[in-house]
Amino acid sequence: MTAVAVLLLVTTDPVASAVDTKVAQQTTEQQNTEPQNNESQNREQQSTAPQSDATEPEQVADQVAEWIGDLSSDSFQLRRESFVKLWRTGMPALSAVQAAMKSTDKQQAETAATLEVLIRLNVATDNPTESANLLNELTTTPELALVKLCKRGYWSVANQLLEFNNELLSSLKSSPRAYSRMNALVDEALEQNQLDLAWPVIRQVLPYQQSLWIALQNDLEKPKVDLTDPSVQAWNLFIEGKYDEMLKSAAPVNLKADLALRAFQWQAFKDPDLMAGVVGRRASVGQKAARAVMLEFAGELAESEAIWDAILPPADFAETEKTPAEKTPAEKTPEDKTPERDSEEAGDEDEVVDEAALLAAEALRFRSEMVRTDRATLETLERVATDPANLDRLLVSMLLTGRAQAVQDYMLENAPADAWSLCLTRGNQAAAMTALGLAPDLSNFDRWLAKCRADLHSDANQFFDRAVGFRSAVLLANNLQALGLTERADQLFDVLVSVCLVSRQRTQNYWEMLATSMTRAESRRRFLDIVTTNEMKLDENIRDRILSILYPECSMSAAVLFANGPMVKDEKGRPSKWEALEQLYLYNREPFEPQANKTLGTWLRRARASLSSSDELSAMQLGELALLADGIGQPELALEFARESSQASIELWAYAGKTLQDRGDLKSALEYFSAVRRMDSGHQEAIVDEANTMLMLGRVSEAAELRKSRWLRPLMVYGGSSWFTVARRLSEAKRFELAREYIEPAFLLSGVDDSENLTMKQPIFVATADEFTRIADELKEVELSADLHRAMFGVLLSAQKTRSYPVSVYASLGSKERTRRAILAARSGDMAAFERHATVAEDLQPQGIELVEDTFHELVASGNQATAEKWFARYEQRLLAHLEQWPTDATSHNNLAWMYARCNLKLEEALEHSQTAVELSPHSPVLLDTLAEVQFRLNHRSAAIHSMQRCIQLDPRDPHFRRQLERFLQAAE
């Protein structure tokens, strides 16, 4: 029987709680219809409830014993009355109650435990109404009752109720509202000017690891834990930063390995037992490879390479002649060149079969041309292919240690569909084309497109098709557009649209895939053209879903805004509501002039009225309308939307508070921030804003206590209302310093809420570490970012199914980690380490200019000018060769220009490449940003300012562009 059920025995109903005890008792006796009612009435007639000052101790003792026995009665009424009588008896009943706590009858023992706390701590029963209400709250919503207890000053009662009644504590921990109730308790402690009073209660609700971290950070009493438990001891040592002691503890090796990864104790993995905690003790090829990775992390380079020499032939790194597909057009000899093929589309069905066979043969030949790894290495991989987990671990380990070419070659031969994304990540467009069965020069594109159309239309009407082919075709279409091959891209887009229109089973899914993949720069404009052309063929539900995808910051109100919007002319001069919504989303007032304020204000108010009239208006929609109003320069309208909400709206209140704070209306701002805190203290950025407002008002001590209260508010580590969520929201708002305060404990403690579920722990850990890396990169914490990447790799290598993500993700993450290691090596002047890390980064992303742009000046500063120039030349030559083969690749033109600019070299060439990139992709703010930077470095200040203003028009939400514009304007003064 739970503690909640035990307490329910003594609870009066809400009506009875408003009258005195005698009337409540009489009413209950009259209404009780249980079979045991006569037993209760007879005993009540024989004796009255004793008072605490009874003159006959023996009589009291007898009655107390009888009442304690009745705590296990089958009669609800009798149990309830006995509880009240014992409570009123007070101290004379305490010893008997304490003895009953040891009863083998669970019901009696749990009820006695609650009574013991109430009697010992002298919770008064003088006021019948208060006592009845208190018991009612404890039984109906225990987490809320604890807050009420504390509000009445019974802090120690609340604490000990949890401490001595495990059932009540378990009930509280399992309650979905427990965290929010405990946050209310913190607010109550603030009201009483005794913040620390809340801690003894809250620390019992949290996982002990989280409770210990908070205690150490805020100089609070540590939680009471069983330090004889080796696992608990290890966690305590870890959180206290005593890593050496933690590693020497008797905790399970898997736990110590996990904690060593979180603490970045790489050298500790020299220990074979600790290594086994990550990769296991078996001797499969995959585990050996993972062991080699971890040994390199630990600094044991020779031992790591020895393992690789045993797994793969040393020839794995041997230089091989370029294949025809890798040669630039200028390098190709006549025998290298692929002959032109018939580009006519297939006719009858027999011809389609022949074409399919021809395409398959060509695809096999193209892939074999791309492979350059020695045969022995590929055979090694093929030998373990029958064990997917073993193969996955080996492939990922190879990627992380500079063997990406071998992985790519193996995948091109054995899993071409999976090789596509890896080839693109490595900048190898020719290999990416071959993975899909296309000739590197696209000479067989028309034949391939005919086969693609037939396959996609066939798949579209298969009930169980998962649209894998459609998804790949969408990615290829976008890639063709990015390469500037717009004619080919348009041909493929036309096929994709035709599939969307004819599909019977998944029409909406297809449109969603298309919309989701076409949200950047030129592809966005192309998609807007597609939906405008096909608008009359779109079901309303599909159209509304497309709108929500294209306009994520106003996804809830996009359909209503579209329906109520005016017409403006698009780039082709056609009146369009789509174009009107696009310009509103971009905060562009120009198309709505000369009466932009009136037109836009009326539009937003009309949308709000439409939502309200259909009873669909939500706080989230009002928030979206408020942000749009603010973006188009109508702050009064924005505040009007924010303040009119009759619902509890965290986002609106936070927005209103921030707006009023910026205006200097601090008292009003404080009211909104306080409302956010009391409604949902998971939005802890509003608590910081509230504290800052208090400081502005001179309420220094209150502000300090409020800021401290953040850590007493028991958010989860990961999930809905959690430290992780707060960190991500702050990161999205570009408040990186504050985000770091939350993501660090989320990383250290990730998984403690679900410590037994390894399946859940790994993705939680990886997601948290990934978010932490983004924050660390923004804060320029290079070593931290590198270590976080390694921690992710350690967890992923320990997984049974290592390849939880596409191999392209591992290649990208691996390149980032190696680049950061290279930066650190360049700073310290360790050229051997620099060359090692740079070589692996180059192998993973041969066209990834981040290595050069982030290390060039570090190398020069440390006296290694020649090394800096060598690596600059390698990447420059590779990009130039790529552009010779793909001259309309706007991204590569941009990357080369950005590398030139960041290294402050060849700025005239940078200007030429950047201008070409913008001409090829005029709707990309990223490319315009590069052009502006080059113009600024060339001292073309007016042009730079103009380019940056255009960036802001294309993406008004990114604060980077506004910071850049401010920088340019300051330099021009």
Q: What does the block give as tokens for 440? A: 């590197």
Neighbours of 641 (CB within 10 A): 25
d(CA 593, CA 275): 67
Q: Which residue type occupies 133?
A: N
Please, what sign has the CA dihedral across residues 608, 611, 617, 620? negative
Return the bridge partners of 569, or none. Answer: 575
pLDDT on residue 318? 41
d(CA 965, CA 944): 8
Q: Which helix (H) or strand (E) holds 576?
A: strand 575-576
Environment class of 293 (CB within 10 Å of its CB; exposed 0-12, middle 13-18, buried 19+): buried
What average pLDDT values come out for the chain (973 residues) when binned by 10 residues?
38 29 32 35 34 57 88 84 84 89 85 80 62 62 76 83 77 76 87 90 89 92 89 94 95 93 96 92 90 96 94 58 43 43 42 59 64 79 87 93 92 88 92 91 93 90 76 92 94 94 84 89 90 90 93 93 92 89 94 94 94 82 91 91 72 87 91 88 90 95 93 87 93 94 95 58 90 96 97 86 75 96 95 96 94 95 95 96 95 97 96 97 95 96 95 92 93 80
pLDDT on residue 477? 94
Contact 946/959 with Cβ under 8 angstroms? no
∠ CA 873-875-880 to the nearest 5 degrees?
90
What is the Cα gyration radius of the chain? Answer: 35
Residue 326 φ/ψ, nearest 5 degrees: -90, -15
Give the closest residue to 326 by CA, choosing from 869, 846, 925, 721.
846
Helix spans in 121-229 (H): 128-140, 142-151, 155-164, 166-174, 178-191, 199-205, 208-218
Neighbours of 970 (CB within 10 A): 8
